[in-house]
Amino acid sequence: MPPRPPSPNAFLDPTTTHIQGIVTGEAAIQSAITQFENGQFRSLRAAAEAFDVPYRTTCARFNGRPSRQQTHDLERALTPEQEQALKKHLLKQLAGRELGKCWVTRFIKRHDLAAIYAPTLDANRAYNHDPKTIDDFFKLLKSTKRKHWPQPANMWNMDEKGCMLGQAQAAKVVVGASTTQKKRAFIQQPGNRELVTAIECVSAAGVAIDPLIVFKGKFHQDKWVQMDGGRSGWSYALSQKGWTDDELGLEWLKIFEQATRPALPREKRLLIMDNYGSHLTGKFLRFAIDHKIIVLCFPPHTTHLLQPLDVGLFGPLQTHYTKLVAAAVCFGGVGGVDKALFLEYYHEA
């Protein structure tokens, strides 16, 4: 048999001993091998058990099989130590001296840059940032308008907004300067996290139809929707979780058809909306075709960029609604937001 190569970490100090928890991972494996080679354990298995590392992995390292990280390091042109040395050398060459801890912060300030915490973005949405995907959508929109020539009053954009009844907005408050008082400051938020869905639709001419509000529930209660002059045309529906489904999607389309029916029967309407499954059922599309409604959907996972209502309307609406909830809790003595209060605050927002 060929001689076994020496342990790659034979330089480790064996005084790191076998107290569990001091070293872990590859360092623990190498320490177990080192102490076994030094005669501190009768068997390699005993050393592995003392360091709480897998015996088979320890045997593999003892017989010269490198770890995954070591294999990866061997594939690089430079070792990690050489890369660190090169990094220090380049920084010294660029600055003429070794850069301090504050150099990056001062560099950013001098050159009108900003260091921010970038928000996370779903992988599917990041992928659909592709300019070609967006360009193809606008080409389709342009060709659809050229083919059917809808008037601005007949071009509509629909979107859904999910709202939690008791969601309040954080706000600045004045407290004592001590750390304890700062930590104790908070804005009380009603505990009701029930979801309500609002479906809104606005035309290119700036006209909005009355919304459809979808509550969570099985039975409708009149006290939820005590009408005032501003909400007399609103529509209401119920679902098991407060979301829209295939049936509610079709019901909303029927409301839309009646509310936006053009004066001339030959005129067509263009409806631009999200690519939801509840909007693309056979019954939904059949109804749209029968009533000369052209349905155009945004590409999947691009509504955060392309949906006008999402970007321009629902963002400010959500901000104002949560402010109203926070003000009602802090100054109005409101302990919780029910469906009736939601409608009042949503209408005001």
Terminal-to-terminal C-alpha distance of the chain: 81
Residue 118: which pLDDT band, with cuts at 50, 70 and 90?
low
What per-residue string of b and e applies to 252-280 under the rule 16 or more CB within 10 Å gives b?
Answer: bbebbbeebeeeeeeebbbbbbbebebbe
What per-residue string of b and e applies to 60-96 under the rule 16 or more CB within 10 Å gives b?
Answer: ebbeeeebeeeeeeeeeeeeeeeeeeeeeeeeeeeee
What is the separation of C-alpha 208 from the centre of its chain, rounded to a whole number of angstroms?
Answer: 29
Strand partners, 60: none
One-letter identity of residue 311: V
Total number of residues shown for the chain: 349
* 215, 224 contact by CB (below 8 A): yes
CA angle 163-238-317, nearest 5°?
20
Residues 6+ apart with CB under 8 A from 216: 194, 195, 196, 238, 239, 240, 241, 242
* 160, 199 contact by CB (below 8 A): yes
What are the backbone angles phi and psi of residue 338, rounded to the nearest 5°?
A: -95, -175
Domains in the chain, start-ordered, CATH in brackets?
14-74 (no CATH), 76-110 (no CATH), 133-348 (3.30.420)
Task: Name the residue among 215, 298, 180 with its Cα closest to residue 225.
Answer: 215
The pTM for the full model equals: 0.57
* 130, 306 contact by CB (below 8 A): no
pLDDT tens, residue by residue, 120-166: 666 666 666 678 888 999 999 999 999 988 899 999 999 988 877 75
pLDDT tens, residue by residue, 24-83: 688 888 888 898 888 888 899 999 888 888 998 888 888 888 887 777 766 677 777 888
Higher pLDDT among residues 300 and 326, named by residue: 300
pLDDT tens, residue by residue, 238-253: 888 878 888 999 999 9
